Structure 1
Amino acid sequence: MANSVDVPVAIVGAGPVGLAAALELDRFGVPYQIYEEDEGLSTKPKAGTILPRSLEIFGLEGALDGILREGLRFDEVHFIDRPSDKVLTRMLMSPMADETRYPFIVNLPQSDLERSLMDALVNNGRTVQFQHKLEAMVQDQDGCRLQFSTPRGRVDVRARYIFACDGGKSTVRHFCNIPMEGVTHPERFLVADFEVDLDRRVGRQLTYLSYIFDPEEWVIFVRQPSFWRFLIPVPEGAPEPTREDVVTKVRRVVKNESLPIRFLDMGIYHVHHRTAARWQDGRVFLLGDAAHLITPVGGLGMNTGIQDANNLAWKVSWVLQHGAHEDLLATYDRERAPIARFNARNQAERNRDVMRMKSPLKRIARNVLLGWMDRSEGLQWRAAHARSLLGTSYKPAGPPPGLLDGLSAVRRFTRPPITAGDRVPDGKIWGPDGRAHWLHDLVKPGFVALLFVDPRSRPSIDPDPDGLMTYIVHRFDAPTETGLRSRSLMDPGGSLAKKLGVPSDHFVLVRPDGHVAAIAPFVKSSDVAEAYKRFTGVSEAIPEAHII
């Protein structure tokens, strides 16, 4: 006889994205169960680079301490011309110090990351149902039914929603008949791990993430906490390299034919730039590799998946717990699919093309442009903002920057003001308890409205609806007799207002994932609550013209 389980959310797949999705649901108090086909967590060489935006998300999920304790932190990436062994440009994370409390990258093997996320789940009183293989799935207007086979027999699960985090060969996606669109390149990637002393290399040292450009055989070196990871292309039709072949390649790249190397492990992967044709099928949602397959060049695949979980979980929570309309769930596909397509077809594909550029004239032009970027504060900021994924935005795509925009960035740099869809930069602000707080911590429980008005004017604010907290942000604290002291955030010098580029007497409605829902003038006491209700679909709210 089959066992039966009834849960609001069933997560299929316990890789980093599935575990992150579970922690996001824990953050909002949504009950769930997570199922994994394998006997335990991953052990193979896979993703190993965690970008600043993912660090922010893990921080909100309560999973960051172990990651920072075990991982290898660094703030400089090198792009190197292999024939000349010269650094063409650097990508620095230090320009992000005013954007985030984590202006650095962390290298940590996926197996260790999964263990840290699992530890956080256990601390929340959760567990993973391992050795649960999905055999069947159907859905109707009220929910989904899943059937798993296990060593102990069949398990039937009834769930209102399914999070498919079951990887590139997703069984859930197959049951939904959702095709993948894009390309699979004929070459493959070899990922190999070694114990080798490259930290004391004679001559130019390798950073913890080095991209080595070569028209015939580009290379990526990734320094993990206790070993080095080596990525190279395997050409179409070429035989699978042996351990001895790979060791020889490493020695040739670092120009030391007698370098002692202890081989640890390796794997070969196909190079995909594909995204699912749709990310939602009724009550089923695709996340991570189930929704997008992105080359590991740039560390974009897993990090994009972590943002998928961060975008979807709060929306499901607001539908289940706060009365939001189910139309809110449709914004998951609309917001995340274009980001994944851009990361796959623009950032990752461009990285690959730049590294293996064959034309000598194009390589000269590339090297000149990269050197230009290395000396430009504005271009360095833009590169770090994009590559860290802190620049992820859900605003409608505008025209690409032109030549004059690039020249302006070289001459001078001013942070652009935020707009609806942008991620709100983090920073410290003084709370009503007299202590300094990080801005992003305010959104941990839900929506936050930042009302940039002078509290001395005694603004009238309607009571906050469920799921929203409104704060007044100003250089002056609210006097006690105004009754606004508990809502007052002190902004010395108006630094937060300047960073955001928000005019006075406006408010910024911030979503639980740290992105801007709306920016609008504060005219009457109900404006904030109405903007919140409009965005979540709880009820009618402010006119469209008020949303910037």
Structure 2
Amino acid sequence: MDPVIIAGAGPVGLTLALALARLEVPSVVLDDGPGRDDQRPARTVVLREDTVALAERLTGTPLAPAGVHWAGWRSMRRKQVTREVAFDAGTPAPLHLAQHALNGALRAAAVRHRLVKVAVESRLDGVEQERSGVTAHTRGPRGTWWRGSFLVGCDGPRSTVRKLQDIRFPGRTAVERYAVAALRAELPWEDEAILHRTPPWRQSGPPAAEVVGRPLPDGVWRLDWLLPQGKDLVTPELLVNRVRETLAGWCDGTTPPYELLDTGVHVVHHRLARRWRVGRVFLAGDAAHLLGALGTQGLDEGLRDADNLAWKLALAWHHGPHKALLDSYQRERRTAVAARLRAADQVLPLLRGGGGLRAYVPGSARGHDTMLADAHLGRGMLGAPGTYADSPLTPADHEGQASVDTPPGTPVADVRVTAEDGTFVPLRDRLGRGALLVVLVAPGTGVWDRKHWVSAGIMPRLAAAVTALPCRAELLVAEEYPGAGAHTVLLVRPDGHLVTALSGVRPADLYAAAETALGGPPRTAPSTETGAEAGATAGSR
């Protein structure tokens, strides 16, 4: 079987390659660069708990030393603190790190893996596909033809893959613009991020005046200033003035010593590809969507694209293409990203406008600050991970369904579980292995050795039901799960989203739910659908 071809060696492309390798699927990553990443301190990413865990599973190394888990979050308006959040074990902090540090860790892991080939100086310029596979051509010093089973375009906003497949990329250009600086300085808030709206030293400025400060290791900070609408040139003098007045405003009127490391202008676009699949060709990351206003992080969503697609491509690679399962990638991920874009576009006029509701509704400014902070922190409608409640892989409600705090299609809570070898591990550690997870909630098991309860009560019957499932599955036991009663059985997808919760051991319901999570019964007859027809079907969803 031919490898999966991945166009683009950024974080999304390398994450997909490593996720496939973990599932014993080989890949070729086409890197149009020299195989190293530019060191840009002002180009950083903020990862939430789920995407940090994903990257660490794939690289086998902790990311924390390369970045900063924020100690807290502070929202300010003028001179007033409107919100403070302290992060602890019960409130996981986002991780802020330079993008080249993340990509370097992913690249190092990819180079070490026997199932990942990174082809440098290989710029894609042609794609041909037929029912049995995909052929790609690259130009450059190492230009050649590549044969693959599938091809995934992770090649950024100007995606060649998207253009070759003639996929439209509608949306809005320059939704917001930010002047960005990375500098080393001592600020009053150690490892604490700050969002300052309408700071007092900018009272004469535009109504949307706003600056965000995010800490990085070694006393480095990334500062982002929201720029007025328009295309006014951001000169070095303007940027230095912004740095000095901001540092002085935060440090009692005196500009502290600082070292300017990097600068830039970040332009936020909102775009969404019409189709994410054309036959055996897929899009992921910035090739499929652009979002970033109001604190939303496009890379977070790109990594979730890779996590969603990897296990589905792996099942198709090992067992033959399953149209419904592969189609679900576009249905789930495009819907989730579209919801975030829609929410941002609806809220943006309220947050950035100088009048409207803010002039008439008491306390609306504080509510707007909360919404914006939630977007930066990965919470609420602007920042929380998407759900797949309307996915074709989510079973319909049924009599044996149990109620838990995690609705079907939502990422599961990271509770401690007992694995089949008797070890205690976080549930998230068992994700990404290609297996469905069956979790039995059994209070009291944590204080007993596994050998004492593995053959008692309902365990033998549940173990038999798990063995009979239509896909490889792993049986885990948790002492508790939010909102779940004793003997609740959870069925979890390989990417960590809940399929269903059952009240007790119900082999028939468990089997039916597992079959639905895999896209339904596979076709018994070979498909005669061509690549173009498959793309048209995916685009109509």
Same fold? TM cut 0.5: yes
Residue of structure 1 equivalent to 2:66: 70
Secondary structure (helix, strand or coil) at the match of 2:32 reads coil
Which of 305-314 and 433-442 deviates more? Answer: 433-442
Displacement of 1:92: 4.7
1:129–1:533 CA distance, 2 compared to 1 (3 A): same
1:146–1:435 CA distance, 2 compared to 1 (3 A): closer
Displacement of 1:365: 2.2
Would the aligned equivalents of 2:374 and 2:382 in 1 still touch at CA under 8 Å?
Answer: no
Would the aligned equivalents of 1:95 and 1:381 in 2 still touch at CA under 8 Å?
Answer: no
Residue of structure 2 equivalent to 1:290: 287
**Counterpart among 498, 505, 510 of residue 516 in structure 1:** 498
Would the aligned equivalents of 1:218 and 1:355 in 2 still touch at CA under 8 Å?
Answer: no
Displacement of 1:57: 1.3
Displacement of 1:529: 3.6
**1:337 to 2:334 alignment:** yes
**1:18 to 2:6 alignment:** no
User: In structure 1, how many angstroms separate the alpha carbons of the residues matched to 2:226 and 2:366?
Assistant: 25
Displacement of 1:23: 1.4
CA deviation vs aligned residue, 1:99-137 (integer Å, no higher than 9, x gap): xxxx12111110111111112223324452221111111
Q: What is the 5 A alignment of 1:431-510? A: 431-445=419-433, 446-452=435-441, 455-457=456-458, 458-459=460-461, 461-462=464-465, 463-465=467-469, 467-471=471-475, 489=477, 491-492=478-479, 495-496=480-481, 499=482, 501-503=483-485, 506-510=488-492
One-letter code aligned to 1:189: Y
User: In structure 2, how many angstroms separate the alpha carbons of the residues matched to 1:372 and 1:221?
Assistant: 17
Would the aligned equivalents of 2:175 and 2:270 in 1 still touch at CA under 8 Å?
Answer: no
Which of 343-352 and 331-340 deviates more? Answer: 343-352
One-letter code aligned to 1:437: V
**Counterpart among 160, 170, 174 of residue 163 in structure 2:** 174
Displacement of 1:238: 4.6
**Counterpart among 192, 200, 215 of residue 223 in structure 1:** 215
CA deviation vs aligned residue, 1:138-189 (integer Å, no higher than 9, x gap): 222222221101214x210121211111111111111111112221236522
Residue of structure 1 equivalent to 2:407: 419
**1:392 to 2:386 alignment:** yes
CA deviation vs aligned residue, 1:22-45 (integer Å, no higher than 9, x gap): 111122111101011122324343
1:452–1:48 CA distance, 2 compared to 1 (3 A): closer
One-letter code aligned to 1:428: R
Would the aligned equivalents of 2:461 and 2:505 in 1 still touch at CA under 8 Å?
Answer: no
Would the aligned equivalents of 1:188 and 1:270 in 2 still touch at CA under 8 Å?
Answer: yes
Would the aligned equivalents of 1:88 and 1:370 in 2 still touch at CA under 8 Å?
Answer: no
User: In structure 1, how many angstroms separate the alpha carbons of the residues matched to 2:291 and 2:26?
Assistant: 31
- Percent same amino acid at aligned positions? 26
The runs of 5 or more residues in structure 2 that have no matched partner are 199-206, 392-402, 443-452, 524-541
Cα RMSD (Å): 3.4
Residue of structure 1 equivalent to 2:311: 314
Secondary structure (helix, strand or coil) at the match of 1:456 reads coil
Secondary structure (helix, strand or coil) at the match of 2:461 reads coil
Q: How many residues align?
A: 479
Would the aligned equivalents of 2:70 and 2:95 in 1 still touch at CA under 8 Å?
Answer: yes
Would the aligned equivalents of 1:50 and 1:106 in 2 still touch at CA under 8 Å?
Answer: yes
**Counterpart among 521, 524, 535 of residue 517 in structure 2:** 535
Residue of structure 2 equivalent to 1:135: 125
Displacement of 1:310: 0.6
Residue of structure 2 equivalent to 1:89: 83
Residue of structure 2 equivalent to 1:105: 94
Would the aligned equivalents of 1:451 and 1:505 in 2 still touch at CA under 8 Å?
Answer: yes
Displacement of 1:95: 7.6
User: In structure 2, how many angstroms separate the alpha carbons of the residues matched to 1:115 and 1:23?
Assistant: 13
One-letter code aligned to 1:224: L
CA deviation vs aligned residue, 1:469-503 (integer Å, no higher than 9, x gap): 2426xxxxxxxxxxxxxxxx3x44xx22xx1x345
1:178–1:535 CA distance, 2 compared to 1 (3 A): same
1:273–1:390 CA distance, 2 compared to 1 (3 A): closer
Displacement of 1:270: 2.6
User: In structure 1, how many angstroms separate the alpha carbons of the residues matched to 2:316 and 2:496?
Assistant: 18
Secondary structure (helix, strand or coil) at the match of 1:163 reads strand
Residue of structure 1 equivalent to 2:343: 346
Normalising to structure 2: TM-score of the pair? 0.79
**Counterpart among 141, 147, 153 of residue 151 in structure 1:** 141
Displacement of 1:206: 7.1
Would the aligned equivalents of 1:506 and 1:522 in 2 still touch at CA under 8 Å?
Answer: yes
**Counterpart among 94, 113, 135 of residue 124 in structure 1:** 113
Displacement of 1:368: 4.2
One-letter code aligned to 2:209: E
Would the aligned equivalents of 1:213 and 1:356 in 2 still touch at CA under 8 Å?
Answer: no
Q: What is the 5 A alignment of 1:176-195? A: 176-185=165-174, 187-195=176-184
Displacement of 1:286: 1.0
Q: What is the 5 A alignment of 1:364-379? A: 365-369=363-367
Secondary structure (helix, strand or coil) at the match of 1:34 reads strand
Secondary structure (helix, strand or coil) at the match of 1:37 reads coil
User: In structure 2, how many angstroms separate the alpha carbons of the residues matched to 1:7 and 1:432?
Assistant: 33
1:133–1:35 CA distance, 2 compared to 1 (3 A): same
Displacement of 1:313: 0.5
1:435–1:158 CA distance, 2 compared to 1 (3 A): closer
1:523–1:342 CA distance, 2 compared to 1 (3 A): same
Secondary structure (helix, strand or coil) at the match of 1:230 reads strand
The runs of 5 or more residues in structure 1 that have no matched partner are 1-5, 98-102, 398-414, 473-488, 542-548
Displacement of 1:235: 3.1
User: In structure 1, how many angstroms separate the alpha carbons of the residues matched to 2:256 and 2:140?
Assistant: 48
Residue of structure 1 equivalent to 2:258: 261
Displacement of 1:61: 1.7
Displacement of 1:63: 4.2
